[in-house]
Structure 1
Amino acid sequence: MSSPTPVWFITAASSGFGKYMAFEALSRGHKVIASARSTTRIQDLKEAGADIVTLDVTSPLPELQKTAKEANDKHGYITHLVNAAGYILAGAVEETSPQEDFDHFNTNVFGMLNVSKAFLPYLRSTCGEKTISNFGSIASWVGGAGYALYSGSKWACSGISEAMRAELAPFNIKVTSIEPGYFRTGFLNPAARVESAVRIKAYDETEVGALRKKFTEVDNNQPGDVKKGCKVLIDILTHTGLAEGKEIPIRVALGSDSPLVIMNKIRQTEDLLKEWDLITTNTDHE
């Protein structure tokens, strides 16, 4: 018996990884339901053969559940859920407001959680292997001045994904955290990135100020090709092409720079543990 045609539901398909994963899946004859806050921004995907729907991942759960039911009814099943919605909030912790912090986590973390909650009943009832792809980042591994909130949100995404993978394994749902390095998308464009409304002059000559300048310099000069990256992702999530015969990994370190960042973090952590081992571990009951 041949496998059913993959059916993808992709959030934030108006740009970046969401858009180009949708195009790559369509090019392979898969079914795609692409979503965005405004469908005017995904008309190109409709012209390419995708079904398009309006979806704001920060909507109340009942609204997301309604969208999930309508999406599942479209083809009778969903095989791949991609949570691609997210943005970066630039600013020192002292600069960002509680509302900016909440809005950031509401999209990057709670949006991922609630969309997953809405779709999980349908994924569980679909036969065969299913996948949920949540977007972490190299910032899931390394925090730095000026992007603490983004890093925290992406650490949360990766940690939650790892736990979800264990929870959903009995239902043949493979959860993976996609952790890209710098790819040339619109992610750092001035219209996409969010900067704290408050700017404290004391931070201008620190790493926080340097980061703001770096984002402008790096924008549209990132090394990663998003179309190549999405081809790799679709291969991995469907066990095809370069990923034929391989299991879907718990995380995908995507891009030439991502593994380097992660390996450096591992080495730093190993050094830290070795340095403090005899002090911090001598804490058990006699």
Structure 2
Amino acid sequence: MSQNSMVWFITGASSGFGWSLAKILIARGDRVIASTRSLDKVRELECATCKALYLDVTDSVEKIQKVADDAMKIWGRVDVVVNNAGFGAPGFSEETGLQGFMHQFNANFFGVVNVSNAFLPYLRAQKSGTIVIVGSRHAWRAVNPMTGAYSASKAAVHAYGETLSAEIAPFGLRVLLVQPGAHRTNAISNARANTIIEKTIPEYEALRQKAFGKYAVQNGKQPGDAVKAMQAVVDVVNGEGKAKGKPWPLWLVLGVDAEEDMRKHLEVRAKNLEDWLEVTRSTTVDDKNIVFI
């Protein structure tokens, strides 16, 4: 193990993207701190270059800070913090209610904020480091039944990551917002079990069955390969492979479905802007005392 190898801290490392990323990093000789609520699973990864830590990203700020402090003691530094932990809980917004929305936001948004804040003092002191946030195409593909809470949490974390990138750039730190499409992880398999319904509304039943039918058809047939996706993240962070010689991307769209959805989203938004341009510009003040920020 080289003392120059990168140190990566990964949340949600027991499955899916987190597990795939940890395996890639171990194979390349980097050092990994794999955090998860399922320690038994992650202990399978433990070796000279991989240590496991228990972390529930929905825990208190104090508990999360303690995990970050412990992580820093292992190898004396962390170079990349990967906010991967999260889940999708499909449900109609009216049925999900506040409890369901908070359930999604606690993991997908507040967990990212708290983990990032726990490491930022260390990264600022190092004057180097990268914060990776695993978002979703559903942040901008939200016009889809049963994705309200999930899409909202991912849109929020995307906005947070964009602002954070501007705030920490002066310290030599970077943010990478990963925006994947559907990949072959256990996300769909676990989705229904994660659902919180405050009240069942019969009028939604037909649409519910149609939506879950689509999930069932796609499960195991998603177009994205999780290992290839995480290899792309490693390449971008290190400026290697297909990322070699390219400028740093704040946004990294992964998957042909995510690409197609992004292109459609941009086309629809551009048309909307053109169609309503007269109204958009009609609110401008009449005087010349205007400052843009």
Distance 1:27 1:255 in 2: 24
After TM superposition, give the deviation of residue 220 of structure 1 in Å: 1.5
After TM superposition, give the deviation of residue 196 of structure 1 in Å: 3.3
2:75 aligns to what? 75
The one-letter amino acid paired with 2:263 is M
The one-letter amino acid paired with 2:136 is S
2:206 aligns to what? 205
2:215 aligns to what? 215
Q: How does 1:23-34 map to 2 (within 5 A)?
A: 23-34=23-34
* Residues 18-60 of structure 1: CA deviation (Å, up to 9, x unaligned): 1111111111110000000121121221158410000000111
1:230 aligns to what? 230
Percentage of pairs with the same residue: 35
Whether 1:264 aligns to 2:264 is yes
Distance 2:47 2:115 in 1: 25
Q: 1:190 to 1:82 in 2, by over 3 A?
A: closer
Whether 1:133 aligns to 2:158 is no
The one-letter amino acid paired with 2:135 is G
How many residue pairs align between the two structures?
A: 283
2:104 aligns to what? 104
* Residues 196-228 of structure 1: CA deviation (Å, up to 9, x unaligned): 33432211223x442222112211111111111
The one-letter amino acid paired with 2:219 is D
The one-letter amino acid paired with 2:129 is K
Whether 1:86 aligns to 2:92 is no
2:15 aligns to what? 15
Is the Cα–Cα contact under 8 Å of residues 100 and 195 in structure 2 kept in the other structure? no
Is the Cα–Cα contact under 8 Å of residues 136 and 154 in structure 2 kept in the other structure? yes
2:290 aligns to what? none
1:122 aligns to what? 122
The one-letter amino acid paired with 1:204 is E
Q: 1:259 to 1:6 in 2, by over 3 A?
A: same
* Residues 144-175 of structure 1: CA deviation (Å, up to 9, x unaligned): 21111100001011111111100010111110
Distance 2:47 2:73 in 1: 21
Q: 1:5 to 1:241 in 2, by over 3 A?
A: same
1:277 aligns to what? 277
Distance 1:119 1:265 in 2: 34
1:179 aligns to what? 179
Q: 1:244 to 1:11 in 2, by over 3 A?
A: same
Extract unaligned runs of 5+ from structure 2.
287-293
The one-letter amino acid paired with 1:133 is V
Distance 1:193 1:132 in 2: 30
Is the Cα–Cα contact under 8 Å of residues 57 and 107 in structure 2 kept in the other structure? yes
Extract unaligned runs of 5+ from structure 1.
none
The one-letter amino acid paired with 1:29 is G
Bigger Cα displacement from structure 2, 69-78 vs 185-194: 185-194
The one-letter amino acid paired with 1:168 is I
Is the Cα–Cα contact under 8 Å of residues 90 and 193 in structure 1 kept in the other structure? no
The one-letter amino acid paired with 1:160 is Y
Is the Cα–Cα contact under 8 Å of residues 239 and 245 in structure 1 kept in the other structure? yes
What is the Cα-based RMSD across aligned positions, in Å?
Answer: 1.7
